Structure 1
Amino acid sequence: MVSVPLRPVLVVEDSTEDFTALGRVFRKYALQNPVLRCEDGDQALEYLQGRGKLSAWPQAMPAIILLDLNLPGTDGRTVLDVVKQDPYLHSIPVIIFSTSSNTKDVEDCYRLGANSYLTKPIDFASLEEKVQLIIRYWLQSSELPAA
């Protein structure tokens, strides 16, 4: 049987501290998917719209995108809008993972096509719980579109 490589999880996060905490949880729950980080919206769009053409980026599109909203340069709302308007990218699930619990942010993101909106918790135990839910639902239970 031919094994298909797992598609990466794209984390668009400017905070090294938050990305490190996510990495700890991914390792704890033995996430098998490679994890790719983009530190700002511009880098994320370069990767996604480059469709793996740059040698530094994997060839496969991500299985899911964990997207922070408040990013330097192009913000997460714009990244979300571009992804959901692009016929090649629009089927990739985008999970907003932001410290903002502002009702307007939540509504705007769903209007732009977010597949889920989760507020980033402050304490590690709550972060662990939310990331475990993301892994179980999006990467283990859901049937995702082909790359």
Structure 2
Amino acid sequence: MSRNRRPIIILIADDDAEDRMLVKDALDESRLTNQMQFVENGEELMDYLHNRNKYADKDKYPTPGLILLDLNMPKKDGREALKEIKSDEHLKVIPVVVLTTSKAEEDVLRTYNLGVSSFITKPVTFASLVDVMKTLSKYWFEIVELPKP
């Protein structure tokens, strides 16, 4: 029933390999068929979005339709990357969902002020993560209209 007929790439920015695997498994478990790309820090995220360095191949690394962003990453944290994304004329239309362990009210407020689309605290159990990913998938890929990349 999806109104979005084109494939939407999900770009997942998280420095923790286990968390990346869990998010991928949870998305797979929720029967999401969208292509997923992964980066490990804010610098890689910006390189991907600007097709620089190892992400120069635009066909291999297309513009994502949704970014899942961890806040606490090395080199450039998610807050800094979010600020850059939302201040860039071409990138600011990409929905960014913070998916982090942080529950700090300051992080919630700051990221919304920077233009984040949603703030989700990572669930503790895998079953809960699957539930969150199912809901997230249904909302972003079946209910809302996303801008074309």
* Pair in the same fold by TM > 0.5: yes
Q: Following the alignment from structure 2 to structure 1, what is the Cα–Cα distance between the partners of residues 59 and 107?
A: 30
SS of structure 2 residue aligned to 1:66? strand
Alpha-carbon distance in structure 1 between the residues aligned to 2:19 and 2:55? 28
> In the alignment, what sits opposite 1:40?
41
Q: How far apart are residue 47 of structure 1 and its match?
A: 0.7
1:88-127 map, 5 Å: 88-127=90-129
> Where does the alignment leave 5 or more consecutive residues of structure 2 unmatched?
none
Equivalent AA in structure 1 for residue 28 of structure 2: R
Q: Which residue of 1 aligns with 2:29?
A: 28
- Root-mean-square deviation (Å): 1.8
After TM superposition, give the deviation of residue 90 of structure 1 in Å: 0.3
Q: Distance in 2 between matches of 1:110 and 1:37?
A: 23
Which residue number in structure 1 is paired with residue 83 of structure 2? 81
| 1:95/1:117 contact within 8 Å kept | yes
Is 71-80 or 42-51 further displaced after alignment? 42-51
Name the CA distance, whole Å, in 2 between partners of 1:61 and 1:49.
Answer: 9
Number of matched pairs: 144
Percentage of pairs with the same residue: 34
Q: Which amino acid aligns with 1:34?
A: Q
Distance in 2 separating the partners of 1:53 and 1:69: 21
Q: 1:55, 1:42 → 2: CA distance?
A: 17
CA–CA distance in structure 2, aligned partners of residues 75 and 101 of structure 1: 16
How big is the shift at 1:57?
6.4
| Residue matched to 1:133 | 135
Query: Which of structures 1 and 2 has the larger relative contact order (alpha carbons within 8 angstroms, sep 6+)?
Result: 2
Q: Point out the more displaced range, 49-58 or 96-105.
A: 49-58
Moved over 4 A (4+): none
TM-score, length-normalised on structure 1? 0.91
Per-residue deviation, 1:59:
4.8
